[in-house]
Amino acid sequence: MENGGFVGEICADETDSTAQAAVAVRNAYKRYTPTAVILKNLNMTVKQSTVYGLLGPSGCGKTTLLSCIVGRIHLDSGSVNLRIRQKSKLGYMPQTLQLYVQLTIYENLAYYGYVFGMDKKAIQEKADELCTFLQLPPQHKLVSNISGGQQRRVSFAVALLHDPELLILDEPTVGLDPVLANNIWERLLEMTKHGKTIIITTHYIEEAKNAHQIGLMRGGVLLAEESPSSLMANYNCSSLEEVFLKLSYKQETQQSQPQPIEEFTIAEKPPPLPLEDTSVFRFTRFYATFMKLLYLSRRELRFVAFLICLPLAQSVFFNLAIGTDPTDLKIGIVDDELSHGLRECRMSRNNHCAYNYTEDLKLSCLYLDELEKKNFKLIEFDDIVSGKKAIKSSDQTWALIHFPRNYSEALSQRVNDGHDASGEALFHSSVDVWVDLSNQYIGNMVRRDIYYATQNFLQSIFMVCGDSPRLGSLPIVFNEPIHDIGTPGFIHFASVAFIILSSFYFPLISSEALILNDKMEGIIERSVVAGMKFAEIAVADSLFLGVVYILQMIITMVVLYGVFHNPFKGDVAISLAILFLAGVQGIFFGILIALNSNTYTEGAYLGIGSNLVLTFISGLVWPIESHHFLLKLVSPYFPLVLPTEGLRAVTAKEWGIDHPVVIKGFQSSFIWCSIFIIGVFLTLKFKKNALIIYK
């Protein structure tokens, strides 16, 4: 390099050094947005077995440069060549913490140790040594309960844990006790004697004098790259601060005009990452994730209890709150044939035959008995006007029933005279009913039960006279049901959709929460830099969630079918298979949401919002047969809709795996599982920040 020239203007004879260097960055160019150009044709050469101090003001691009070196982000053009070939030989301490603060110091070290392929004994030995050296609190302390400086030292320990050949440290000495900082520098220099190479960024120029080589960075370029002594000698300065100042002035005068963005050529395809990992699935990394989940569940007992109690509470409340008919509904009664009000019914003889009418026959009392049997509470009103007023002004009374003054006599005549009954007898033998239909469901139910009560009342009249009760029935007979599930209630219908949605939703929120948390905290990022594959994380998470899911499903099924006796008549294995596939869909949909969310809020909205839509269209709230015709055209193509139909057919109709409705349920499940899994692959491949949140 020409004396005084920026490192960006690299000489041809230096290209040989690229091959020998531990790290060689050539013509590096990186921008975050078209106007935010961070690295501008930067060149950097780090010799093997040296400490390289990267110095520069805040925002000059140090972290960006290190991120490109460790493969956290791609360069837009240029190249990074590393002497090491495997990620396991790289140690990286990022600027942000990227630790599990809910875990202890040891558990964090163990997690990353397993990621690096270390065994338990080696991890424990190294953890003991590093914790002593870095003056860390006892290893059983939670990271959340130690100071910020101590947390950073744990992060530093993680970088040193597996004795890497190339160590990249982003401001490891911030806020450290000077003695400890000095010890760290001594250790770093000692490590170079064993062939290690270290790049370290720092704001402390004084401390950087310890490095073998210093890179002075400003505005996205390296102004100089030499040993501290040569820098001071070459620039005729007594301190590094002075050298930096001189070079900064020089840069200012040389680049008085900002370099136009067009001058930087961007490669069409981003240059490859320096350490593309070709290794396949590694058991140790899968084990690291699984162990971490076990550690987390031990630490987060409250959350585990929540995961178990949530299905319990949901299914209990579902059964207690949904599906059974309302009881004790109030009905207003205006009975003009009773001169002493409803208490007269208790005194009068009501059960003699209507064919023999006498003054004391009060058939309205028999009618009222039937209404009470339907669990209505009867409220007496003096007249129709006050009864209607009460319904209008209060939401407590749902209907008003009026019996005319000569109701029993007219009804007797109607029964006796049959088709010869007079118009007056027909008129006065009818009760008037007004129903509050402001709540359609309750209003319709009140109407239905008044019909049933009327029918029962008429049947009882003929029975008392010794005739067939059929005389008082509509001429229609409902025979044995074809698919009998006992007394059918809305809950029986809804319980199938409920269990499918639970099978889908519990794994969804758990997988989403796990991945999104690790993504937001930067732990996936650090793990990926350390060699972790997303497949290893996904498989370990899925297995762990599978166990939780089985527990959740057992609880839900015991409550639904054991305690509340919802109908379940068909093949258990087919039903469990449908539920299992709903769980798999949930896990992968949760992962997909996490990969596509950039904030916790976004993740929460996507998770809850999608679930609401599925709740509406899957038949939990209302039968899909009653959907709008346009929705009916598309709803079968939504997840869970056909599996719900299939499960309903299995559990209520005992249809088998070969029935088209059940087959369609399975087809839909397989197709949606595939769509979610493919979605995860495509997101990982094409979405820039699927795993990493650039802070």
Tokens of 188: 């770093």
Site size for ligand ATP (CB under 6 A): 13
How near is the Cβ of 54 to ligand ATP at its closest, in Å?
9
Residue nearer to ligand ATP on the CB measure, 64 or 350: 64
42 binds ligand ATP (CB under 6 A): no
Question: What distance in Å separates the CA atoms of residue 258 and residue 171, rounded to the nearest whole number?
Answer: 29
Residue nearer to ligand ATP on the CB measure, 441 or 694: 694
Residue nearer to ligand ATP on the CB measure, 220 or 639: 220
Out of 38, 158, 540, 581, the residue judged to bind ligand ATP by CB under 6 A: 38
The helix/strand/coil state of 655 is coil
How near is the Cβ of 32 to ligand ATP at its closest, in Å?
3
How near is the Cβ of 692 to ligand ATP at its closest, in Å?
9
- What are φ and ψ of residue 266, in 5° steps? -100, 130
Q: Are 176 and 149 in contact (CB under 8 A)?
A: yes
Q: Which of 323, 311, 310 is nearest to 495 (CA)?
A: 323
Residue nearer to ligand ATP on the CB measure, 62 or 428: 62
In the region spanning residues 76 to 95, those forming contacts with ligand ATP, defined by CB under 6 A, are 95
Q: Name every residue whose Cβ is closer than 8 Å to that of residue 416 and which is 6 or more positions away in sequence.
A: 354, 355
Per CB under 6 A, which region of 51-59, 432-440, 520-528, 553-561 contacts ligand ATP? 51-59
Residue nearer to ligand ATP on the CB measure, 219 or 332: 219
Per CB under 6 A, which region of 53-61, 370-378, 527-535, 645-653 contacts ligand ATP? 53-61
How near is the Cβ of 63 to ligand ATP at its closest, in Å?
3
In the region spanning residues 655 to 694, those forming contacts with ligand ATP, defined by CB under 6 A, are 694
99 binds ligand ATP (CB under 6 A): no
Question: What distance in Å separates the CA atoms of residue 426 and residue 418, rounded to the nearest whole number?
Answer: 10
How near is the Cβ of 596 to ligand ATP at its closest, in Å?
18
Residue nearer to ligand ATP on the CB measure, 217 or 243: 217
Question: What distance in Å separates the CA atoms of residue 497 and residue 639, rounded to the nearest whole number?
Answer: 12
The helix/strand/coil state of 380 is strand
The helix/strand/coil state of 529 is helix
Residue nearer to ligand ATP on the CB measure, 126 or 519: 519
The helix/strand/coil state of 339 is coil
Distances (CA, A) of 264 to 32, 77, 302: 14, 9, 54
Residue nearer to ligand ATP on the CB measure, 30 or 402: 30
Tokens of 7: 């490192």
Q: Which of 176, 219, 166 is nearest to 52 (CA)?
A: 166
Q: Which of 596, 605, 591 is nearest to 515 (CA)?
A: 591
Give the HSE-up count for residue 341: Cα atoms under 13 Å, Cβ half-sphere: 8
In the region spanning residues 296 to 325, those forming contacts with ligand ATP, defined by CB under 6 A, are none
Residue nearer to ligand ATP on the CB measure, 72 or 212: 72
Secondary structure (DSSP) of 441-467: HHHHHHHHHHHHHHHHHHHHHHHHTTS
How near is the Cβ of 79 to ligand ATP at its closest, in Å?
19
In the region spanning residues 55 to 74, those forming contacts with ligand ATP, defined by CB under 6 A, are 56, 58-64
The helix/strand/coil state of 169 is strand
Letters for 15-34 (x = contact with ligand ATP by CB under 6 A, - = none) are -----------------x--
Continuous segment of H or E residues that includes residue 387: helix 384-393
How near is the Cβ of 176 to ligand ATP at its closest, in Å?
16
Q: Are 606 and 591 in contact (CB under 8 A)?
A: no
How near is the Cβ of 195 to ligand ATP at its closest, in Å?
28
How near is the Cβ of 509 to ligand ATP at its closest, in Å?
28
Secondary structure (DSSP) of 132-167: HHTTPPPTTSBGGGS-HHHHHHHHHHHHHTT--SEE
Q: Which of 29, 40, 13 is nearest to 223 (CA)?
A: 40
Out of 12, 19, 36, 280, the residue judged to bind ligand ATP by CB under 6 A: 36
How near is the Cβ of 65 to ligand ATP at its closest, in Å?
7
Q: Is 485 left (phi over 0), alpha (psi -120 to 50) or beta?
A: alpha
155 binds ligand ATP (CB under 6 A): no
Tokens of 15: 């290209």
How near is the Cβ of 64 to ligand ATP at its closest, in Å?
3
Residue nearer to ligand ATP on the CB measure, 36 or 573: 36
How near is the Cβ of 35 to ligand ATP at its closest, in Å?
10
- The DSSP code for 377 is E
Contact residues toward ligand ATP (CB under 6 A) are 32, 36, 38, 56, 58-64, 95, 694
